[in-house]
Amino acid sequence: MALVENEDALHDVNVVKNKQKRNEIVRKIKKRRKAAKKADKEKRQKFLKEQGLPLPKPQTIESKRTHDETFVAKDDPEILEEESTDEFADLLSGTEPPSLLITTCPKPSKATHTFVKELECVFPFSTYKKRKETTLVSQVVEYAIDQGHTSVMIINEDVKQVDAMTLIHLPHGPTLSFKLSSLRLSHSIFGHGKALRDNFPELVMNNFRTRLGRRIGRSLRSLFHTKPMCHNRQVATFHNQRDYLFFRHHRYVFEKRKEKVKASESETGEPKTQTKIQTRLQELGPRFTLKLLHIQKGILNWRHGEFEWCNTQDNKDSEKGYNRRTYVL
């Protein structure tokens, strides 16, 4: 005899007094609902394919975002003229690989060291330089310029957890400061692979459609080589959604699998096997999320620096007591 009269009604589960049994029934109901929803979706897609109709596109926050005046076209002549003379024009138009110097805050933890080591496999020809306690940021910048580096990346931490990233482009800036969150290193990602060192990964940039977004995209693109090594099948992705930059690092994997296919009428009735090549993505790590805090003109200078853009929207919303946001990237 069933404990609940209607097995798909969650409100009837309260009659079960045992908490463990009640939670088990709730899990089973949710599992059945999820399976039924998936079956209905597959049935609808199969019907559309048979009718030759296009499949519906999933509705997301970004896809439902209405076009506004902050969006710029890819071939806007005014934007192209500005980008042809900005700080990243020479690096993005050249064939020489970028040179990135990565350092940390003074006395970093082991987790920060591990994160930096994995970043060396993401950014081509990057160099990790340990920072002493008495070394100032200005001294790091001077050393990087003398060594011929094109940019400096500083990883900061708080309570032994990585929480910020500062990107300084050399020799004339700009300086971008990010809040870093949701960090997962390679060893904590199930089925992760091992990234190749000194590799030019293919770069994918999504949803950088505004004037500010294009500037951030060019800043991040200048850290990668303009001609990727596609034969190594490594891909670095920056996906912008609601002003958060999600970073993922993958590799394309091609696998040969044998599948049984039906024999034709002219052949014998026995099924035969056919080898097919299937493609999947293997995450290499690390994965993290960036939130732009501010852009400063020139080299980082907290006292006398001129800020090009500051993220003040969150502070204004918190003071007014509501969470309405206007996305700017």
Which range has the top average pLDDT, 24-28, 49-53, 62-66, 141-145? 141-145
Q: What pLDDT, on a 0 to 100 scale, did the predictor assign at position 94? A: 80
Helical segments of 188-327, H only: 211-221, 313-320
Q: Where are the domains positioned within the chain?
A: 10-51, 77-253+283-320
Q: Name the pLDDT band for 7 (thresholds 50, 70, 90).
A: low
Q: What element of type H or E holds 92?
A: helix 89-93
pLDDT tens for each residue of 77-132 = 999 999 999 999 988 988 788 999 999 999 999 999 999 999 999 998 899 999 98
Class at the top of the CATH hierarchy for domain 77-253+283-320: alpha beta
Q: What element of type H or E holds 156?
A: strand 151-158
pLDDT tens for each residue of 38-60 = 999 999 999 998 998 988 888 87
pTM assigned to the model: 0.79
CA 77 – CA 159 distance, rounded (Å): 47
